[in-house]
Amino acid sequence: MNEALGRNLALLRREKELSQRAAAKDLGISQALLSHYEKGAREPGLAFVARACRYYNVSADFLLGLSLSRDGTTILDQDTLPDASQERPGALRGSVMALLTKKLVVNAAGLLFDLLGALGSKKAIQAAGEYLGGAVYQLFRRLHRAAGASEDFFDVPARYFDLGVAGADMTLSQCDFQDALDAARREKVPFPDLSHDTLAKSYPGVYQSLLQVVHTAGRRVNNELDLRARMAEET
């Protein structure tokens, strides 16, 4: 069965804050059958898919996981996604620190993907996206939990999340990323020039953000290492 179908049925129902019983009644099936559909234990027929699309106001392509857009349009390379980096300064709710931090991360990530695009490795781009997406997922889920919201919103059970499966997924993404880079080197694919002068000239604005992110992370790691070394000496 299409795994995305069951997942999307469950997510759309939770989004509408409906119980399985209520949604099943509206869709004209039993709660048990809807549960099977959402878990992927049974595959619904075309008539149910059409009914669910009308009920949740989404396209069949979205429900089946063939499109990221609810109306079924395909996101092509030339299409534009909402760009958080182009928002007005006052568009982000929160403190000045939140706005500045967002800009640093968005700019640094944008430069990273520009460089990966120049490398031309689709596997490296996918792995990088999965790794960063995993980080956002974990932070958002912890924020979601701290706010007291229901964790039914998430597919991964809370007990598995607490055991670190999302972190393990990020580690695997790093492995995939390294494998992609190693493959590019073996195939003698030309890597972009990453020298300081070239990056500063080619990306005069966003390169400063990358530098700050890199140096801040480096200082933080070194501070942790120094602290551990001192603690080890004292014991």
**Model confidence band, residue 96 (pLDDT cutoffs 50, 70, 90):** low
- Same domain, yes or no, for 16 and 121? no
Residue 105 has pLDDT above 50, yes or no: yes
What's the pLDDT at 153?
86
What's the pLDDT at 50?
92
- Same domain, yes or no, for 153 and 229? yes
Question: Contact 13/23 with Cβ under 8 angstroms?
Answer: yes
**Residue at 75 is within a domain:** no
**Residue at 78 is within a domain:** no
- Same domain, yes or no, for 180 and 100? yes
- Same domain, yes or no, for 161 and 209? yes
Residue 113 has pLDDT above 80, yes or no: yes
Q: Is 17 left (phi over 0), alpha (psi -120 to 50) or beta?
A: left
**Residue at 112 is within a domain:** yes
Question: Contact 9/63 with Cβ under 8 angstroms?
Answer: yes
**Model confidence band, residue 215 (pLDDT cutoffs 50, 70, 90):** confident
Count the neighbouring beta carbons within 10 Å of the beta carbon of residue 6.
22
- Same domain, yes or no, for 192 and 224? yes
The alpha carbon of 179 is separated from its chain's Cα centroid by a whole number of angstroms, namely 20
- Same domain, yes or no, for 18 and 93? no
Q: What percent of the chain has pLDDT over 70?
A: 86
- Same domain, yes or no, for 165 and 94? yes
* Sequence letter at residue 150: S
**Model confidence band, residue 85 (pLDDT cutoffs 50, 70, 90):** low
- Same domain, yes or no, for 178 and 119? yes
Q: What is the domain-level CATH number for residue 51?
A: 1.10.260.40
**Residue at 40 is within a domain:** yes
- Same domain, yes or no, for 19 and 88? no
- Same domain, yes or no, for 114 and 230? yes
Mean pLDDT of the chain: 86
Residues 6+ apart with CB under 8 A from 190: none
Residue 125 has pLDDT above 90, yes or no: yes
**Residue at 226 is within a domain:** yes
**Residue at 74 is within a domain:** no
- Same domain, yes or no, for 100 and 187? yes
**Model confidence band, residue 75 (pLDDT cutoffs 50, 70, 90):** very low
What's the pLDDT at 72?
60
d(C-alpha 76, C-alpha 147), whole Å: 36
Give residue for tokens 């030339």: 78
- Same domain, yes or no, for 108 and 35? no
d(C-alpha 34, C-alpha 180), whole Å: 40
Domain of residue 182, residue span: 84-234
Angle at 211 between CA 178 and CA 94, to 5 degrees: 105
The token pair that represents 105 in the structure block: 């991360």
d(C-alpha 128, C-alpha 178), whole Å: 10
Number of folded domains that form the chain: 2
Question: What number is the average pLDDT over the span 86-111?
Answer: 72
* Sequence letter at residue 36: H
| From 5-14, 104-113, 168-177, the region with the lowest mean pLDDT | 5-14
Question: Contact 171/178 with Cβ under 8 angstroms?
Answer: no
**Residue at 103 is within a domain:** yes
d(C-alpha 185, C-alpha 206), whole Å: 26
Residue that finishes a domain, picked among 63, 93, 112: 63
DSSP 160-177: HHHTTHHHHHHHHHHHHH
**Residue at 152 is within a domain:** yes
Question: What number is the average pLDDT over the span 24-50?
Answer: 92
Residues 6+ apart with CB under 8 A from 27: 34, 48, 51, 52, 55
Question: What number is the average pLDDT over the span 212-225?
Answer: 87
Residue 37 phi/psi, 5-degree rounding, is -60, -45
d(C-alpha 79, C-alpha 121), whole Å: 20
